[in-house]
Chains A and B, each alone.
Chain A
Amino acid sequence: MEVLQAINFIDLTWVNVTSLIVVGFIAGMVSGFIGSGGAFVLTPAMMSFGAPGIVAVASNMAHKFPKALVAAIKRNRYGQVDVKLGLIMGIFAEAGVLIGKNFMTDIRQDFGDVGTDLYVSAVFVVVLAIVGGFVMRDAMRGKKTDAENKGVEQKHEAGKIAKWVQSVHIPGTMMYFKSIDAKVSVLFIAPLGFATGLLAASIAVGGFIGVPAMIYILGVPAVMATATELVVAFVMGMGGSMLYAFDGFVDIRLAMLILGGSLFGVQIGAIGTTYVKEYVVKYVMGSIMLIVLVSRLIKLPVYLDQMDWIAPLSAGLTSTLNVVSFTTLILALVVGALSILIALIKGIAEHKQQHAKFVDVGASD
């Protein structure tokens, strides 16, 4: 067995402190809007600032769970949270977190910090490709349907898979959930929760599985799924943070600086969801996922080189890949922030316009 390496935490220079707060703010906005924690931008960002993959994941979980609690309470006020579903999924997610965390610490023991860098990035690439593509396709369909039914209030309807899941009756395992107004077997929720937790312990993002699973497999409306995911994120995030902290991997300074910015942002994102249509949430989610995917993909050869798994890269190429990867990540943040702000400003303006018309009609009557 190798001697355990000392844990590398980043230096708190003023540039790092300021950058982390700004990155936290934008990621918080995205997080409040799409309910996936924003860690899919923050984990790579922390790694770009020099934190090893395992420290980035552990610290992200620690920053995420209190933030998820704040956002969940906020969105519960708008009636968007299914607390019961969130808690049940969260409990099953804890089991996934335990397995995922042990796997990560085993990788570090065998391959060192760069092993966790490679593992975290590779998981990101695969998951973002699958989920990002799926969400984007669904957003495009949603927009088309919305255009065809302009002016008509759309009622949420569960997809084919969700209808089947809701139709399966397994005695002794059925539970009623208000978000779908139907009973579903806990046996369907268990693997979804477990997979969410496993992914959370691997990349600090469980929402990539949790949110689409709730939408497409259970039939929860998108806005409620993103809100309920916050409960799941709180439950499993707290458990995961404790597990990682028990081995000393949580850099709480890093986590709290990110939190400092993101708590400002998460409020804007959460409020933004109340002004936009479902397909807009999906568009923003899909776009950011695909851009982050490119950022991580570009970084993979650098880690493979550091592990001596490929022929050595030249110093110039390594430097170029690092810069391009970081720039792409910044692009994802900018796209996310602008999309949400534009959607929010447009939504508020439309709402005010409609309100003014309503007042005018009322006055003329």
Chain B
Amino acid sequence: MSDKDVSVMSVIGFGIVSAVLYTLLYIYSGDLEKASQLVQQGEKIYFLIPIAIAFVFSYFHGTFTDRFWSMLGLKAKK
């Protein structure tokens, strides 16, 4: 398998994970809204949910977008 194949495979892999994460976000959007209301009512532990989500999404979606542009040949000036 060439480097190019590996790169395309990883773009597809991270892209699928990213798509799954966004689907879950949409499915559970009502629960996420409720979690914020619970935090306001004193269940402070739920404040960690948005922070954890931000990190997980940025890792998978960030890696996906980075490799996506590299695969298309958009690179910085050397």
B-binding residues in A (CB < 8 A): 4, 6-7, 9, 12, 17, 62-63, 65-67, 69-70, 74, 77-78, 238, 241-242, 245-253, 255-257, 259-260, 263-264, 266-268, 270-271, 274-275, 347-348, 351
Contacts and interface: CB of A to CB of B under 8 A. Distances in A.
B54 A267 contact: no
Interface of B: 22, 25-26, 29, 32-33, 36-40, 44, 47-51, 53-55, 57-59, 61-62, 65-66, 68-69, 74-77
B53 A256 contact: yes
A30 B29 CA distance: 28
B2 to A, nearest CB: 24
Given A12-B26, A62-B50, A268-B74, A251 B36 contact: yes
Contacts of B58: 66-67, 69-70, 259, 263
A182 B16 CA distance: 47
15 contacts: A7-B40, A66-B54, A66-B55, A241-B51, A245-B51, A246-B44, A248-B40, A248-B47, A253-B25, A256-B54, A260-B61, A263-B65, A264-B65, A267-B69, A270-B76
B75 A271 contact: yes
Contacts of B32: 252-253
A263 B77 contact: no
A274 B37 contact: no
B40 A247 contact: yes
B65 A253 contact: no
A260 B22 contact: yes
A248 B62 contact: no
A285 to B, nearest CB: 20
B50 A250 contact: yes
Contact of B74 (A69, A253, A267): A267
A248 B36 contact: yes
Contacts of B22: 256, 260
A259 B61 contact: yes
Contacts of B76: 77-78, 270-271, 274
Contacts, number: 110
Contacts of A274: 76-77
Contact of B39 (A248, A256, A275): A248
Nearest to A272: B76
B28 to A, nearest CB: 9
Contacts of A6: 37, 40
Contacts of A4: 40
A252 B39 contact: no
Nearest to A78: B76
Nearest to A237: B54
B37 to A, nearest CB: 7
A195 to B, nearest CB: 25
A248 to B, nearest CB: 4
Nearest to A350: B77
A267 B66 contact: yes
Nearest to B56: A66
A224 B30 CA distance: 42
Given A248-B47, A271-B76, A351-B77, A255 B40 contact: no
Interface centre among A7, A62, A74, A263 (most CB of B within 10 A): A263
Given A252-B49, A256-B22, A263 B54 contact: no
Nearest to A251: B36
Contact of B54 (A9, A17, A62, A249): A62
Contact of B37 (A74, A248, A256): A248
Contacts of A74: 66
Given A7-B37, A253-B25, A263-B62, A271 B69 contact: yes
Contacts of B51: 62, 238, 241-242, 245
